A and B are shown apart, each in its own frame.
Chain A
């Protein structure tokens, strides 16, 4: 077995592991693990309407922000 096989397998598994690690770090940073109870109940409150709400909130924020900077 050539040594490049080892190198390739090591590299591939490290990249895959790295992706999972980055996803986990993102989860911590965005506060998904801050509230234990809410986290455990998350499955109950995770459907289409929640997604719509989140999108709508973004939209609302943008609109209000424009209003904020409008010279009055």
Chain B
């Protein structure tokens, strides 16, 4: 049979299943609906623009749009701007190409009452402005859904907004500084040529005035950040680098104006512009690599449904989770997330508690057992009585704790910051003494002042300001190429200082999913049959067996039955198949008395056991080697786990970890990290699951595995895309090399100052030498930073 492309989503399907409609073919009703809607509203040019991009077929139908108009929803997400219009931030799902952005914006703009819809293609975030008296939010979201996308609101954190604003502000200041400095350099070339070959005073004055015009915006617009920093520094009685930069640049600027007006001597406008531009560049690099503030709360709230089905007076009614009272009876279906803590009153089934314990094997719950919010029902259909309201449930508590932890994250002061304080004080004092010394020697005020200023100019912390950012940037680039993403540059330095590394067991040291470790075959059977049987279940054990078998040609089964937390049964060609645990076998009168500390999966055909699969969570291939190399760096390795002692001890022995803490709750993990920090240790925590997030947020450096949960990736400082522990030891290597480089860079810039400052104090510095030495020292620092690449690749 031939395959046909759907005219909306461009996915290919068999001709027999396609819906034919006036010469067009569609894979489903949803695509057909969207196609007609676009044609009717004159948006068919979308298909031209999208070309052959594959889209997501429109399959799901939503009926919750009324909730978007509720007052509580408006209060949380909708803001009113100064013009009296409403604004909301949305994340649009299903954007594949630029044409999707075009279509969404166009469709929304066509709506009566929508004023502005701006969608960011890179992160799929949208900002929509509308007039609420003309169109309701529900209508806007329905429109987005009608054209085949989905939208959900998010609460842009104040941090994120201010980080974006700050970045933009720096772009503007950098643009002005770069433009002016580059032009000043052209003019300065003429100045220097004149200095050596002779130049008339009036041409010199013209050049000085041009430089003056160019240097003014650099100093007062681009350099404003330094004046602000200097002001705060003085207010807190700290001599920081900003004070040095601001006083140096300002004094030089004033002196140069005096020279220009007096038409005698050499002006230093080029030094003013260069100091500001170089140091601003260093600051800009720091801002650029600042961690993007997380939309933590929103990712967390995606973990729970916004509504639950409550049984009231015999009726099932869906209620907003915030309105559910303590003691309500909630209906939980298979696959649903539990939103509120409670106690089972009816039904039974397997619950995935990996978000709390990290263990992927489901826990069997029956009447009287407690349910914890944030966990998921695998196959359980049950009713539970809520014992807490949503605000006091485990998941909400976790969010509160998390926010607290992220706010007061321990901060290790960077070496360059500590150094710059002493450095700045020393230079300012030296400059003052030089000036006084020359003045009382005696010299005229003009000469003494110039010599004093030349000390500040030559000591200008260009190299010092670039020492850390350039080295860390190179380190970040190297990490990124090996799949190690540092979210903030300063973390490289902190990581290099760490002396304890805390590892989560499941998903970090181990694979986190059960794998077949032993097979006992008792009778011959067709593996394709077993594969078909286990494929019909989403239980981790069954899937583990399925991955082990990996048969290409699945057979079709009849009468597939699932026994909750026991196994699966089916029949094919008169044979009865049974697959599951010992309890299932016993219930069907089959002898299953093999004992093992691992999970067992029995496969029986017609009441006779054919094979026994033994499954266990195994360590990743590289764990042992990576942990050894981490230990060789002199770092203590500790394993934390929510699992019980026997399992934990076994895994720890396999990978060579001596210290371990077992049976820990998420809070206890965080407490352990905190306790180590109180003892003066710098702690790295590596984990992957929701159960690790508190510890990740508390640690000096939180490292998330690439396939970990979204929330873990969000709260951590470093993400390992490679998902193995080798990447972790690589990350340590990169951070330690980078830190060594930072120290070298600082050494270079200090050495340079030790040579040039005495020269300046003796009055030997002319503008050209100042400019050249400034560039040279910066070049040395940048060049040295590039070495990181060799020292790691060799």
Docked complex Cα distance between A26 and B172 (Å)? 9
| Contact residues of B between 353 and 397, Cβ < 8 Å to A | none
Docked complex Cα distance between A24 and B203 (Å)? 31
A48, CB-defined interface residue at 8 Å: no
What 1/0 flags go to A29-72 for Cβ under 8 Å of B? Answer: 10001111110010011000000010011001100110111000
Among B109, B175, B206, point to the contact of A21 (Cβ < 8 A).
B175
> Are the C-beta atoms of B176 and A25 separated by less than 8 Å?
yes
B116, CB-defined interface residue at 8 Å: yes
> Are the C-beta atoms of B206 and A29 separated by less than 8 Å?
no
Known: A3-B206, A61-B116. 19 other contacts (CB 8 A): A3-B200, A3-B203, A6-B203, A6-B206, A10-B210, A11-B210, A14-B214, A21-B179, A25-B175, A28-B171, A34-B120, A35-B121, A37-B121, A44-B49, A45-B102, A64-B85, A64-B113, A64-B134, A67-B134
Minimal Cβ-Cβ distance residue in A for B112 = A60
- What would be 29 A-B contacts, judged by CB atoms less than 8 Å apart? A3-B203, A3-B206, A6-B203, A6-B206, A10-B206, A10-B207, A14-B183, A14-B213, A14-B214, A17-B179, A25-B172, A28-B168, A28-B172, A28-B175, A33-B171, A34-B120, A35-B120, A35-B121, A35-B122, A37-B98, A38-B101, A45-B49, A45-B98, A45-B102, A53-B106, A53-B109, A67-B131, A68-B133, A69-B84
Contacts of B206 in A (CB 8 A): 3, 6-7, 10
> Are the C-beta atoms of B113 and A38 separated by less than 8 Å?
no
B115, CB-defined interface residue at 8 Å: yes
Query: Smallest distance from the beta carbon of A59 to chain B beta carbons, Å?
Result: 11
Docked complex Cα distance between A28 and B25 (Å)? 44
Query: Smallest distance from the beta carbon of B401 to chain A beta carbons, Å?
Result: 34
Minimal Cβ-Cβ distance residue in B for A27 = B175
5 A-B pairs with least C-beta separation: A41-B98, A37-B121, A64-B131, A68-B84, A38-B121
Contacts of B116 in A (CB 8 A): 57, 61
> Are the C-beta atoms of A36 and B84 separated by less than 8 Å?
no
B187, CB-defined interface residue at 8 Å: yes
Query: Smallest distance from the beta carbon of A21 to chain B beta carbons, Å?
Result: 5
Contacts of B168 in A (CB 8 A): 28-29, 34
> Are the C-beta atoms of A64 and B115 separated by less than 8 Å?
yes
Contacts of B175 in A (CB 8 A): 21, 24-25, 28
Docked complex Cα distance between A2 and B207 (Å)? 14
Among B49, B115, B134, B187, point to the contact of A57 (Cβ < 8 A).
B115
Docked complex Cα distance between A27 and B171 (Å)? 11
Among A17, A56, A60, A65, point to the contact of B183 (Cβ < 8 A).
A17
What 1/0 flags go to B174-201 for Cβ under 8 Å of A? Answer: 0110010001000100000000000010
Among A44, A64, A69, point to the contact of B98 (Cβ < 8 A).
A44
Docked complex Cα distance between A45 and B98 (Å)? 9
> Are the C-beta atoms of B120 and A38 separated by less than 8 Å?
yes
> Are the C-beta atoms of A29 and B172 separated by less than 8 Å?
yes
Query: Smallest distance from the beta carbon of A41 to chain B beta carbons, Å?
Result: 4
Docked complex Cα distance between A6 and B208 (Å)? 12
- Inter-chain contact total with CB atoms closer than 8 Å: 79
B573, CB-defined interface residue at 8 Å: no
Q: A6-B203, A57-B115 are in contact. Are A37 and B122 (CB under 8 A)?
A: yes
Chain A interface (Cβ < 8 Å from any Cβ of B)? 3, 6-7, 10-11, 14, 17, 21, 24-25, 28-29, 33-38, 41, 44-45, 53, 56-57, 60-61, 64-65, 67-69
B40, CB-defined interface residue at 8 Å: no
Query: Smallest distance from the beta carbon of A15 to chain B beta carbons, Å?
Result: 10
Query: Smallest distance from the beta carbon of B364 to chain A beta carbons, Å?
Result: 48
Minimal Cβ-Cβ distance residue in A for B209 = A7
Docked complex Cα distance between A21 and B182 (Å)? 13
Query: Smallest distance from the beta carbon of A29 to chain B beta carbons, Å?
Result: 7
Query: Smallest distance from the beta carbon of A7 to chain B beta carbons, Å?
Result: 5
Docked complex Cα distance between A17 and B106 (Å)? 37
B63, CB-defined interface residue at 8 Å: no
Contacts of A21 in B (CB 8 A): 175-176, 179
Minimal Cβ-Cβ distance residue in B for A20 = B179
Contacts of B98 in A (CB 8 A): 37-38, 41, 44-45
Minimal Cβ-Cβ distance residue in A for B113 = A64
B83, CB-defined interface residue at 8 Å: yes
B202, CB-defined interface residue at 8 Å: yes
Q: What number of B residues sit within 8 Å (CB to CB) of A? A: 34
Contacts of A53 in B (CB 8 A): 106, 109
Minimal Cβ-Cβ distance residue in B for A57 = B109
Minimal Cβ-Cβ distance residue in A for B130 = A64
Query: Smallest distance from the beta carbon of A16 to chain B beta carbons, Å?
Result: 11
Docked complex Cα distance between A21 and B133 (Å)? 42
Q: A3-B202, A38-B101 are in contact. Are A61 and B210 (CB under 8 A)?
A: no
Contacts of B183 in A (CB 8 A): 14, 17
Docked complex Cα distance between A24 and B554 (Å)? 61
Minimal Cβ-Cβ distance residue in B for A53 = B109
Contacts of A67 in B (CB 8 A): 131, 133-134
Query: Smallest distance from the beta carbon of B169 to chain A beta carbons, Å?
Result: 10
Docked complex Cα distance between A60 and B213 (Å)? 44
Query: Smallest distance from the beta carbon of B449 to chain A beta carbons, Å?
Result: 28
Docked complex Cα distance between A68 and B85 (Å)? 8
Docked complex Cα distance between A63 and B116 (Å)? 14
Docked complex Cα distance between A17 and B134 (Å)? 46
Docked complex Cα distance between A41 and B203 (Å)? 48
Minimal Cβ-Cβ distance residue in B for A61 = B115
Docked complex Cα distance between A42 and B202 (Å)? 49
Contacts of A11 in B (CB 8 A): 210
| Contact residues of B between 209 and 223, Cβ < 8 Å to A | 210, 213-214
Minimal Cβ-Cβ distance residue in A for B83 = A65
Contacts of A6 in B (CB 8 A): 203, 206-207
Docked complex Cα distance between A44 and B113 (Å)? 27
Minimal Cβ-Cβ distance residue in B for A39 = B121
Contacts of B122 in A (CB 8 A): 35-38
Query: Smallest distance from the beta carbon of B474 to chain A beta carbons, Å?
Result: 23
Query: Smallest distance from the beta carbon of A6 to chain B beta carbons, Å?
Result: 6
Contacts of B83 in A (CB 8 A): 65, 68
Contacts of B203 in A (CB 8 A): 3, 6
Docked complex Cα distance between A65 and B134 (Å)? 11
Docked complex Cα distance between A69 and B436 (Å)? 67
Docked complex Cα distance between A24 and B173 (Å)? 12
Among B121, B133, B172, B187, point to the contact of A10 (Cβ < 8 A).
B187
Docked complex Cα distance between A14 and B217 (Å)? 13
Minimal Cβ-Cβ distance residue in B for A13 = B183
Contacts of B134 in A (CB 8 A): 64, 67
Query: Smallest distance from the beta carbon of A72 to chain B beta carbons, Å?
Result: 9
Minimal Cβ-Cβ distance residue in A for B210 = A10
Contacts of B121 in A (CB 8 A): 35, 37-38, 41
Docked complex Cα distance between A58 and B8 (Å)? 32
| Contact residues of B between 103 and 123, Cβ < 8 Å to A | 106, 109, 113, 115-116, 120-122
Contacts of B179 in A (CB 8 A): 17, 21
Query: Smallest distance from the beta carbon of B699 to chain A beta carbons, Å?
Result: 32
Docked complex Cα distance between A19 and B414 (Å)? 41
Query: Smallest distance from the beta carbon of A68 to chain B beta carbons, Å?
Result: 4
Q: A24-B175, A53-B106, A60-B115 are in contact. Are A68 and B120 (CB under 8 A)?
A: no
Docked complex Cα distance between A3 and B210 (Å)? 13
Minimal Cβ-Cβ distance residue in A for B187 = A10
| Contact residues of B between 71 and 113, Cβ < 8 Å to A | 83-85, 98, 101-102, 106, 109, 113
Contacts of A45 in B (CB 8 A): 49, 98, 102
Contacts of B210 in A (CB 8 A): 10-11, 14
Query: Smallest distance from the beta carbon of B126 to chain A beta carbons, Å?
Result: 11
Docked complex Cα distance between A62 and B116 (Å)? 12
Contacts of A57 in B (CB 8 A): 109, 115-116
Docked complex Cα distance between A23 and B122 (Å)? 24
Minimal Cβ-Cβ distance residue in A for B120 = A35
Minimal Cβ-Cβ distance residue in A for B182 = A17
